[in-house]
Structure 1
């Protein structure tokens, strides 16, 4: 692998990279940065967690001059969480050079964003809906944009942003540098590239094995009513530094995070019904280590890139193989090993085998640890923490009290009391979670590239048809004159559409069909993340 010194970057950018802890480039960075420095359009095929943000961020920050008073670069992301994360990394890369970047996303006060735009940022990182809102308000002008980056383009198209992206790109000067990054290359991504990229270079670093080799994967067959006790035993036995627990629905996430708190664990939930401030607070605490456990739905965790996640637990088996790969990919990053456990009820074993077949990875079976093993594991983890402190030798100020105590009490009793105190008292509280219906294996076309998208839909967005060719009730396409367009007519609010970037708290489509992509239904009553039309209402509500 090349070091960043070999790319010919200016000293201020190199300094930022060094302070971020980067030394050698990742495969996607090594392949992408030289092409981007030359200004060549490119398509980068890479999964999240491979370092693709720096792959486009480093050359972008390198070529922008701090004296620029215009928006010269535009980065589009599918979700607010990803927009925030990309903005944070771009901010770190450009801090010594004085590059100004700004995230623009739905759920945040638009007036606040307008004030921030007056500080003349050079790079805008935004979600398509909120970007269009600003364009319509004339608070963002794209006349001077020289570089456009589409990050996780397949996700954006899956979420129905094709029309928005096309509209935005048509407003950017044709003489520009365009980079598109996507984990998969379905036909709609290829069409988008043909329309807006000029002779693009194709860079692919997709591994042959779908699921990451550095992640130790195991499943535990357990009855639904025993899942929570099993989870507590696993957490006690392993004492993870940072863990993400995935639940299938928002209700599950709320109940599970509350139950863990009652048992004395440092845990909080993350799903689409939380306000932006609540989501930001939860993620801040998780990143700085104030939280040990994050309980999340698939959609809420999409785009999350938190370093140091040691364990992922699938409390509920995911709906499809792609969700499984995405979930476990939150750990085992940057060359570090990770652990992924999956709870499977006896009726879900066939569905697990289906996931194994598509991901081309055998998931090892393991037994649920006994109560004695859990207690022993917790004590060992606490003892390791004490030994680590001893080796660090940053304990001189406590030695005086320690000597006094040793003069009065037995050393073994003192150490045992310390281990008990640090292990934390486990609160014996009876917990009852609402049971989830088991998932059943379905016969599906085993194509990882297209699974998760609706059939007969050009880009997984609105205006799709049922397999029989009819449209779902009350749904026209964008701008249709039937009752299916936004607000029941032709006009639509781009500000409202931004809620698709993360959640849909404040929108409903024609009546009382409320819901969220996190839990089970979208607001139109259809399973959004399923790759085929099949009723799962009872499993998800």
Structure 2
């Protein structure tokens, strides 16, 4: 056992005791040491908290180490990133100073996250990782590439820019990985990616990872991949650990319903999705007014602001994040256990990526969709495409479906058991008289009404609730007092609570349906709204181009320039 001495010196993180689903646990029983990886890499793997490979890692790592092309399809949140980072780092020779691998991702946030995984796993290996995305200065990247860089992580546009200028030399890079390949091969990116491949050597290895594989990926495979090894770990598309519900609401009830969910659910951290950048900002302001801490992030913000929000949210500074679909792909924040679709997505792919933000790495999560009358067909279509069932939201949601057992208190553990006992009791007593069953139901009613959704109540009063150090044992979310604005943030930083940007303070187009706390909207709110443009377009008048009163009908006569009906022409016979 002498060769195992290095294990004793490892600085292992605290063990994560949360239960995991079969997406992650149904393995063949391999160990990371079975792949004959370098000891420095194994040290990084164990210190990052990895114990044994997940199913996608078991399939991908040994094949990737042989240098064969890979086409891997696996669910979000099952350890895809490590499945390509581990073999990539293993094959890098740190004695050479040239670029040896490119990891291509579609979004800036995912690039930062992937680069961080590379740095964490390879911290003992002396490998230099560089991340480059649009939104950062080109000069810094050029200076950085003048030094030693072994692995480049980035987004397609910037990488092609560096390669075409001759700044980044990929002629010795034998590994080319595409994460979220379906997005990278969409019409906006595919010409860039195909151009990029021409800068790589002929004997390169291409690895594609994605949750969905549309036809464009198959066409790319036939054109560029050589006898790829195909991995498919997708029995059903949605994550097993995520319980999905929908609540049928009117547009104007959404904020009130969200307020009720906040007060009833035991939220660790939540991500709330909207379909437009304007609605993201308005909803973030509304949540702040309700007394909950809230950040927002969308594509029209400065990159440095987005990075700051992402970093602080991941570190538990704030419980809630409102964002557009910018953050749907691959973003991994373990403490998120609730995702709320404030606006229902338009297609199944977006829905799948959104709900994959909870239930990361086989843990438990909850996805709640607020459905309006117009969304009902979309809901049915997405259920059919994904082969999943989205249930109507019950009056009481069992906390064991989405809260780690360590964070449940005794009362919460006992309550669902009580309900189960009542159900079995009913089954045993079905032959008894109908009236006895009615009496039992009446006894249960007071318990269920205590947590009924949605409950028409006043907004809760803000209370101060400090966040614990470990994100897995956060208490139920309570409305929090306004947090002091951080001094180190740039001015006009999109972070709540803080001063709202001046252009939105008295916004004329503020959606009236957002002005909702459970009380009816005053009629003045509607009267002050501008008339829709289609109602303003009236049929052209035959007298439009003539001076007022120039033609006064058939009989001529007296003119009334401004009668009670407004400007008009009145004829008197």
Tell me the TM-score normalized by structure 2: 0.65
* Matching residue within 237, 252, 256 for 2:264: 237
* Matching residue within 171, 174, 177 for 1:146: 174
Contact 1:237 1:375 in 2 (8 A): no
1:435 Cα deviation after fit: 5.9
* Matching residue within 454, 475, 479 for 1:369: 454
1:433 to 1:238, Cα distance in 2 relative to 1, 3 A:
farther
Show the 5 A alignment for 1:261-300.
Answer: 261-300=288-327
CA distance in 2, matches of 1:425, 1:166: 51
* Matching residue within 234, 241, 244 for 1:217: 244
1:159 Cα deviation after fit: 4.8
CA distance in 1, matches of 2:191, 2:135: 21
Contact 1:309 1:330 in 2 (8 A): yes
1:363 Cα deviation after fit: 1.5
Report the equivalent of 2:503: none
Report the equivalent of 2:218: 190
CA distance in 1, matches of 2:387, 2:215: 23
Report the equivalent of 2:511: 434
1:425 Cα deviation after fit: 6.0
- Match of 2:97, SS state, is coil
CA distance in 1, matches of 2:143, 2:513: 46
Task: Answer yes or no: is 1:77 the counterpart of 2:154.
Answer: no
CA distance in 1, matches of 2:336, 2:44: 24
1:434 to 1:59, Cα distance in 2 relative to 1, 3 A:
same
Show the 5 A alignment for 1:36-47.
Answer: 36-47=64-75
1:209 to 1:216, Cα distance in 2 relative to 1, 3 A:
same
Report the equivalent of 1:173: 201
Show the 5 A alignment for 1:295-444.
Answer: 295-366=322-393, 367=395, 368-370=453-455, 424=480, 434=511
Which 4+ runs in 1 deviate beyond 4 A? 371-376, 419-427
Task: Answer yes or no: is 1:49 the counterpart of 2:77.
Answer: yes
1:353 to 1:185, Cα distance in 2 relative to 1, 3 A:
closer
CA RMSD, aligned part only? 3.2
Write the deviation string for residues 320-341 of structure 1: whole angstroms up to 9, x where unpaired: 2222111111101112100111
- Match of 2:185, SS state, is helix
1:66 Cα deviation after fit: 1.9
Contact 1:79 1:303 in 2 (8 A): no
- Match of 1:313, SS state, is strand
* Matching residue within 48, 60, 71 for 1:20: 48
Report the equivalent of 2:540: none
1:424 to 1:172, Cα distance in 2 relative to 1, 3 A:
closer
- Match of 1:158, SS state, is coil
Report the equivalent of 1:135: 163
Moved more, 348-357 or 224-233: 348-357
1:186 to 1:426, Cα distance in 2 relative to 1, 3 A:
closer
1:299 Cα deviation after fit: 3.0
Contact 1:78 1:159 in 2 (8 A): no
1:346 Cα deviation after fit: 3.4
- Match of 1:277, SS state, is helix
- Match of 1:180, SS state, is strand
CA distance in 2, matches of 1:309, 1:86: 18
Contact 2:61 2:83 in 1 (8 A): yes
Contact 1:149 1:178 in 2 (8 A): yes
1:191 to 1:38, Cα distance in 2 relative to 1, 3 A:
same
Write the deviation string for residues 340-390 of structure 1: whole angstroms up to 9, x where unpaired: 1111123433332222222222212125332569979x99x979x99x99x
CA distance in 1, matches of 2:336, 2:84: 24
Contact 2:99 2:151 in 1 (8 A): yes
CA distance in 1, matches of 2:360, 2:476: 33
1:15 to 1:202, Cα distance in 2 relative to 1, 3 A:
same
Contact 2:69 2:226 in 1 (8 A): yes
- Match of 2:363, SS state, is coil
Structure 1 residue runs of 5 or longer lacking an equivalent are 393-418, 438-541
CA distance in 2, matches of 1:372, 1:23: 47
- Match of 2:52, SS state, is coil
Contact 2:267 2:476 in 1 (8 A): no
CA distance in 2, matches of 1:303, 1:154: 12
Report the equivalent of 1:464: none
Write the deviation string for residues 17-48 of structure 1: whole angstroms up to 9, x where unpaired: 11111112111100010011112221112233
1:83 Cα deviation after fit: 1.5
Report the equivalent of 1:3: 31
Report the equivalent of 1:65: 93
- Match of 2:362, SS state, is coil
1:435 to 1:47, Cα distance in 2 relative to 1, 3 A:
farther
Show the 5 A alignment for 1:466-481.
Answer: none
* Matching residue within 212, 229, 232 for 1:204: 232
1:190 Cα deviation after fit: 2.1
1:262 Cα deviation after fit: 2.1
Contact 1:272 1:300 in 2 (8 A): no
1:183 Cα deviation after fit: 2.5
Contact 2:174 2:204 in 1 (8 A): yes
CA distance in 2, matches of 1:423, 1:254: 19
Structure 2 residue runs of 5 or longer lacking an equivalent are 1-26, 396-452, 484-505, 515-573
1:433 to 1:311, Cα distance in 2 relative to 1, 3 A:
farther
CA distance in 1, matches of 2:479, 2:378: 37
